[in-house]
Structure 1
Amino acid sequence: MHLAELMLLPTDPWSAARLLADAAHVREAIRAAGATDDAVEVTGDGSAAFTVTSRRTLPADQVPAHLRGFVGGRLEVRQTTSWDAPDDDGARAGTVVAEVAGVPVRLDGRTTLVAHGPAATAVRYEGEVRASVPMFGAVVEELTAGAVRAALAAEAQVAARRLT
């Protein structure tokens, strides 16, 4: 399933990158999305290339009852977002990979961060969600895409609060 999401941040690309590379921001965004942050590691900083790796736990209460046998009571999501060094305008590209432990579902994608008008930055995530669950693959993919959308929406709200 194809996933494309856009997050607008009310700041310039340099400040947006520093925010995305801030472990405290990542932890707050994880909690705002209804998960617990089990681990957040940031390698590098927003002025150059950096990688954010997180592990979060979500309750499986949004998973339909007939699929809970596959996932259990909790979902552990591991995500790695690797950002390239910025160009002269602060724009950058990167990759994102997210997996749900114990469930054959994975998101592989690309991400970009670019100026959006005079006082905002657009962060775009685009990729493919794949679930190899017999008979229920499409349902699992849609649930995963929904969780990604909700997490990005929560992150945008946390970012807007931190930046204003």
Structure 2
Amino acid sequence: MRLSADVRYPASAAEVGRMLADPGFVDARDEATHPLSHSARVEGSPEGAFVVRSTRVMPTDDVPQVARRFVGDSLELHQTDSWTAPSADGGRTGTMTIEVVGAPVVLRADLRLEADGDGACTERMAGDLKASVPLVGGALEKAAEPAVRAAIRSEEAVGRRWLAERAG
């Protein structure tokens, strides 16, 4: 299933790149999804290329029954966001992978952080959500899509707050 989303931030691409590489932001982003537990680490720095590796254990209370039988009472998500060094305007490209441990579900996406020219920037995500299960794969993808979109909107809200708290 193809997924795409755009998130516009009221800050420069360089500022948003620093935010995305900040362990405090990553912790706040993950906490906002209400995990049972989580951990993350950032490798590299916003001045160059960096990788954010995150693990979240999530409850499955809101997971549709068709998917819950594959994951049980909780599911473990491994997310890896890899970003290139910034261009002159602060923009950069990257990739994101989210894997569900113990279930054949993965999201692979290309990322772009683009300066908008008005002091703001847009983070673009475009990728594929795949569930490799015969007969029910499409149902699993449809079941996972709302959670993925909710996580994107949650990250946007956390990012906007993060930037507003540090402005000025």
TM-score, normalised by the number of residues in structure 2: 0.92
CA distance in 2, matches of 1:141, 1:124: 21
What is the root-mean-square deviation in Å for CA atoms of aligned residues? 1.3
What is the aligned partner in structure 1 of residue 19 from structure 2?
Answer: 19
Cα-to-partner distance string for 1:110-150 (whole Å, 9 max, x where unaligned): 00001124121100111011101222211211232222211
Change (3 A) 1:139 1:117: farther
What is the aligned partner in structure 2 of residue 48 from structure 1?
Answer: 48
Where in structure 1 are there 5+ consecutive unaligned residues?
Answer: none
CA distance in 2, matches of 1:162, 1:114: 19
CA distance in 2, matches of 1:151, 1:117: 27
Q: Count matched residues.
A: 164
Cα-to-partner distance string for 1:28-60 (whole Å, 9 max, x where unaligned): 111112224521010011111100000011111
Deviation at 1:151, TM superposition (A): 1.0
Post-superposition, which runs of at least 4 consecutive aligned residues in structure 1 deviate over 3 A? none
Where in structure 2 are there 5+ consecutive unaligned residues?
Answer: none
Identity %: 39
1:30–1:151 CA contact under 8 A, matched in 2: no
2:66–2:140 CA contact under 8 A, matched in 1: no
Mapping 1:62-77, distance limit 5 Å: 62-77=62-77
TM-score, normalised by the number of residues in structure 1: 0.94
CA distance in 2, matches of 1:61, 1:81: 26
1:9–1:121 CA contact under 8 A, matched in 2: yes
3-state SS of the aligned residue for 1:62? Answer: coil
CA distance in 1, matches of 2:117, 2:140: 37
What is the aligned partner in structure 2 of residue 99 from structure 1?
Answer: 99
CA distance in 1, matches of 2:104, 2:66: 17
Cα-to-partner distance string for 1:56-99 (whole Å, 9 max, x where unaligned): 11111122224322110101100101001111111110111110
3-state SS of the aligned residue for 1:161? Answer: helix
